[in-house]
Structure 1
C-alpha cells in the first residue's frame, strides 16, 4: 500500500474491523511487536526512512514530530495522578503561557484548568479525549498527528466537539492528520482525502467527494450502499455478505470471495493499482456498474435537523375553522318591488262605546300589541291602521312578505 499525508491535510483511513487500519498507525510510530515485520519499501518522513531507523532515533521523533491519539483516552493518562501534574509533564513551562492557556480553554478544557488537582476519573470521556488531543498536538507541535478512532466511544454531541477540535488544530497549527475510522459519516465531515482498506491492502484512494459520488472499487461501493443515508426508507439495509477473515492470505484480490463481479483472474492474480483521474484503485474490473447501489451527494459539514411541523388545530383540541366556500359569480340584483297600497280606503275606527258598566262581552281589540314586541310597555295601544313594517335589509325581493291592512270586525254583526 502507498499513500501520503500532506501538511495541513486530514487523510481518512476507513475499512471494517480487521482490515489493518490501526496496524498502519502502529507501524508509522515504530511500535509493532518484535515478531512483526514491515514489508514496505520505506516510510518516508521529513527525508528519513522510519522503517530503517534504530529505536534510539525513533524515540527522538516519536511524540515530538509524530504524535498518536489512541482510541481510549484512559490508556494514555495515569489514573492516580492529577490532571494538572500530567499537563505539566508534557507542556512544562508552556502551561504558564497565557496564549497556551487560552488555546486550552478555547478547545473546551476550561474545567481541567480550573480543577488541576482532580484525578482523570473526575472528568467525562469527552473532556479526557480533548485533553489527550491537546497534549499530543501542543506538547511539541508535531508535524503529523495519528488519530486512531478517537471518537468511537463518544456520544454524538461530544463527538461533534472533538471533530471541531481537529479542524481547529489543522487550521491554527497546519499539521497533517491521519484519521482512522470505520464511520463514513464522520470521515465525510472532516477529511480531505480518503483511503479505503481491505485485507491489509489499500484498494482505493480519492478525494472525499469522489469517494461518495463516484466510487470505483466494488468494496467501496458496497460500503457506501450499506450506509443508512443511502438506503430508501422502505427497504432494509444492504450488508456485505461474508467476512474478511483470511482475506490477506489469498493469492488474488482479497475481496474476490465477496465481490459480485469476480472472475477467474480475480482469484489468481493480485490486481495492480491504476489511476483514474484523481482516484487510484486496485481492481481488475474498476467502475463496474452496480444498479442496486445509487450514488449519493457529498455529506455537508453540518447537518441541521428540521423542527417537527406543528399539529393541526383539530389534533390539539382546538376546533378547526370551517373552510370558506368559493365566492359565487357576481349576479345583477333584481329590483325590489314597491308594495302597492290597498285600492279601497281603510275603514274608520268605530266610535268609542258609551260610558257604562263593563260588559263581559267586550269587543276585541282590533290592534292587539305584539306578544314579544321589543321595548313594549303596558298601557293603551293606539287604535287604527298601522304603517307597514320596513323591510329587513336581509330580506330579498323574493322573501319580503306583502303587507295587507287588517279589517276591524263589524261592531253590528246583526245589522243587515
Structure 2
C-alpha cells in the first residue's frame, strides 16, 4: 500500500506504514478467526460490498485518546458508487484507513464492525488480511506520484499487483499490457518501459487505477483521485472509473471534497462532520433538498455559474471544526449553525429518516425539515458610494494599463532539445482587474507567471512593462518599488512559509523587507494587515504547522500584501482547499481587490472559480495564447474549440449537463516539437482540413475585446456551439 492520508487531525502522524508493521500489529491485537470461504464465494456475493456499523475510531495524541470517528454506520451495495464528503479533518480518509485496517500506530478501532463482502475485517489474522487486501479491495490515492515508486518502471510496478494476488512474475508481466489497455492507455508496451516521472499526472493516475484493478476487486476505494488534475484529465479519469465500474460490476467508495464530482459519479452520498455521519441518502435527493444545515452550507459555498465577485459574496460556514475529542454536548454542529437554538446545544439529535423521491434520506438535525431555509450570510455586495445603476459594485479600476507583456517567450534546453514553454504571448492588465489564466498542465501558465515576476528571464525580444516602463528581466535587477509591485501567492502555502517561525514574525519580516517599516509603524501596519486578511489574533504566536490549510493561505496572502502590491499573481491558491475554506479565501481576495484596487493574475484549473473571480480570461495551450476576452464572453461563447472542450469537461451539480462533454483525443503535444499550423489541430474535434495543419491561424475579433485564434469564422463557431448545447 502506498500514499498518505489527507484529512487526519493535527498531531496525527500521516504517511505510509509498511505492510509488515500493519500485519504484525493486527495479528497481535485480534484473535485468530474461524475458517471461512475464500473471498468471492457465494456468501460474500450475497452481502454488501462494504458494511460499516457503529464505527468509532480514536487516535492517541499527547497521552490521550481522542475520538475522530463516532458511531459511523454506512453500507455500499455491490456494484454501487457511494460518495463520502466533508471538510478536511471530518474523518473521510480515516474511514478508508479503518476499512483497510491500515490506521497509523496511534489509531485504533474503539467500537463497531467493518465487513467487506460479508467478512469481518477485524476478525482476520495477518495472513487472511493480506489475502483480503490482495483480492477483495483496492485503493487509489489522491497523489499518484506518491503512490508510485520513482525508481521502478511501470511494468515492474503493475506486475507486482498481479504477483500480490498470486501470479508468477512471468505471468504478471504477460498480463500487464492488457491491464493497461483496460485503463485506456495506448501503446502499453512503450509506457511499461517508462518511469513515473516521465508520464503526465493523468497517465500516472491511470497506472495507479490499473494496479488497483489487477485483482478485479469487489470494492474500490478512491480517496480524492482527481484533486489537482486538469479539467480534461479529471474528466477522462472519471469516465474511465465509470466505464470500468460498469464493466466489472465493482462497488466504489468515492471520497472527495468536490461535490460536483460526487454528484456526477455516485448514486448515494454520506456527509461527514467532525467524525459523525450527519446526512445520507440518494445523491440527487441530498444535493437537491439537503436536510442538514452543514450540507446546505457546503453546497452554498460553491461559486455557481452566473455568480460574480462584483455582485455576490460566496456563502461561507462560520467557525471551525471542533478539535478531535472535544465534542460539545448536543448537536456537534450547533456552534457553526445559523439555525441552532438551546435545544440543539442541549439535545443530541437522533437520525431522522424521511422518504425522499429516490429513497430514504437521513439527517441528524432537529430542524431537518427547514434546513433548506437556512439563513444566508450577507451574500449580496452593497456599497452605496460605489454602486452602479444595475447594483453591481464599481471597483477602483481605470482604463490605464498597469502591466503589458508583448511577444513574451521562454525557451528552455531539456535533454538536448529546445523547449518553447511560452511562445510569443501578448497580454495586458488594468488596475483593479483580474485576468484568469487557464489551460492544461504544460500549457505554460506558471512559466508565464514566473516571467512576469522576474523569477525566470524571458527570451530576447520579449517586452514586459509596468506603467509603461520596461521591467528588467530578472527580479534581482529590479528596484524596490518594482519588486513590491508584483507579488505571488502559491498553491501550497507550506512552500512559502518558514515552519520554524511564528505567524507574527513571518508577516513582520515581510513588512520589514517589502514595506520598509520598523518600530511602532510596523506594528500598526501589522495589525491592519492581520485584520485585512481576517486572521484571528490567537494564531499570531502559532507556528504554521499548527494551522489549517485555510489559515496558512491567509498568512501567505498577508505576506504578499505586506508591501502594498499593485499586482498579485495567484497560482492555484485554492485548489487544495475544501469548498468552505475556498469560499472564504475567494471572498478575501475579492474584498482586498475592492479595498486596495490591486490587480490579479489568477491561475487555476477550476473553471468555476476562475469564472467567479475573473474579469477577463486568457486561454493557453502548449505555450500559445488561443483566446482572450471578457469572462462572460469567453464562457458563454463563441469560444475556441479548445476552450469549448475545457468548459465542457468541468463537472457540475446540474444533471442536465451530463453527457455533453467534448472528449479530446490523446495528450497535448510536446512543446519541444509542437505541431505545424494550428497547435491544437492534432486534438481538435472541429478541424476543418489541411489549412489547420499548414497555417497558424490569426486572431479574429469576436467583439468587446474578445479575440479567438482559429481558422473557423466567429459566426460559424457560434452556430456550431449552439447546436452542441441544444443536443
Q: TM-score, normalised by structure 1?
A: 0.68
Q: Which residue of 2 aligns with 1:27?
A: 98
Q: Distance in 1 between matches of 2:347 and 2:324?
A: 14
Which of 192, 195, 212 is residue 119 of structure 1 equivalent to?
A: 195
Are the counterparts in 1 of residues 202 and 233 from structure 2 also a CA contact under 8 Å? yes
Matches within 5 A, 1:113-192: 113-137=189-213, 139-192=214-267
Q: Which stretch shifts more, 43-52 or 22-31?
A: 43-52
Note closer, same or farther for the CA distance 1:230–1:224 as it changes in structure 2 (3 Å cut).
Answer: farther
Residue 340 of structure 2 aligns to a residue in which SS?
Answer: coil
Q: Which residue of 2 aligns with 1:68?
A: 139
Provide the aligned C-alpha RMSD in A. 2.8
Q: How far apart are residue 230 of structure 1 and its match?
A: 6.8
Q: Distance in 1 between matches of 2:269 and 2:362?
A: 11
Residue 79 of structure 1 aligns to a residue in which SS?
Answer: coil
Q: Distance in 1 between matches of 2:353 and 2:368?
A: 10
Are the counterparts in 1 of residues 139 and 212 from structure 2 also a CA contact under 8 Å? yes
Which of 351, 368, 375 is residue 286 of structure 1 equivalent to?
A: 368
Are the counterparts in 2 of residues 185 and 299 from structure 1 also a CA contact under 8 Å? no
Q: Which residue of 2 aligns with 1:254?
A: 332
Q: Distance in 1 between matches of 2:306 and 2:88?
A: 22
Matches within 5 A, 1:17-416: 17-91=88-162, 92=167, 93=171, 95-97=173-175, 101-102=177-178, 104-137=180-213, 139-229=214-304, 232-233=307-308, 234-246=311-323, 249-250=326-327, 251-277=329-355, 278-288=360-370, 289-290=372-373, 298=655, 300-302=657-659, 311=702
Q: Deviations over 1:185-224 (max 9, x none)?
A: 1111111111111000110011111112110000011111
Q: How far apart are residue 291 of structure 1 and its match?
A: 6.1
Are the counterparts in 2 of residues 199 and 248 from structure 1 also a CA contact under 8 Å? no
Q: Distance in 2 between matches of 1:312 and 1:284?
A: 54
Q: How far apart are residue 247 of structure 1 and its match?
A: 6.7
Note closer, same or farther for the CA distance 1:205–1:300 as it changes in structure 2 (3 Å cut).
Answer: farther
Q: Which residues of structure 2 form unaligned runs of 5+? A: 1-71, 380-652, 663-685, 687-699, 708-727
Q: Deviations over 1:16-43 (max 9, x none)?
A: 1110000000000001123322134211
Q: TM-score, normalised by structure 2?
A: 0.40
Q: Distance in 1 between matches of 2:112 and 2:703?
A: 68
Q: How far apart are residue 259 of structure 1 and its match?
A: 0.3
Q: Which residue of 2 aligns with 1:5?
A: 76
Bigger RCO of structures 1 and 2 (CA < 8 A, at least 6 apart): 1
Structure that is richer in helix per residue: 2
Q: Deviations over 1:64-87 (max 9, x none)?
A: 201111112133222111111222
Note closer, same or farther for the CA distance 1:214–1:297 as it changes in structure 2 (3 Å cut).
Answer: farther
Are the counterparts in 2 of residues 225 and 231 from structure 1 also a CA contact under 8 Å? no
Count of residues in correspondence between the two structures: 310
Q: Deviations over 1:341-367 (max 9, x none)?
A: xxxxxxxxxxxxxxxxxxxxxxxxxxx
Are the counterparts in 1 of residues 300 and 315 from structure 2 also a CA contact under 8 Å? yes
Q: Deviations over 1:103-151 (max 9, x none)?
A: 52253322543242221111111111110111101x2111001111111
Are the counterparts in 2 of residues 213 and 297 from structure 1 also a CA contact under 8 Å? no
Note closer, same or farther for the CA distance 1:292–1:260 as it changes in structure 2 (3 Å cut).
Answer: closer
Q: Distance in 1 between matches of 2:212 and 2:268?
A: 22
Q: Which residues of structure 1 form unaligned runs of 5+? A: 317-416
Residue 192 of structure 2 aligns to a residue in which SS?
Answer: coil
Q: Deviations over 1:282-301 (max 9, x none)?
A: 1121122426569x854643
Q: Distance in 2 between matches of 1:70 and 1:312?
A: 45
Residue 261 of structure 2 aligns to a residue in which SS?
Answer: helix
Residue 206 of structure 1 aligns to a residue in which SS?
Answer: strand
Q: Distance in 1 between matches of 2:305 and 2:203?
A: 33
Residue 16 of structure 1 aligns to a residue in which SS?
Answer: coil
Q: Which stretch shifts more, 110-119 or 198-207?
A: 110-119
Structure that is richer in strand per residue: 2
Q: State the structure with more CA Rg.
A: 1
Are the counterparts in 2 of residues 108 and 127 from structure 1 also a CA contact under 8 Å? no
What stretches of structure 1 move > 3 A for 4+ residues in a row?
100-103, 230-233, 291-294, 296-300, 302-305, 309-313
Note closer, same or farther for the CA distance 1:246–1:141 as it changes in structure 2 (3 Å cut).
Answer: same
Note closer, same or farther for the CA distance 1:301–1:113 as it changes in structure 2 (3 Å cut).
Answer: farther
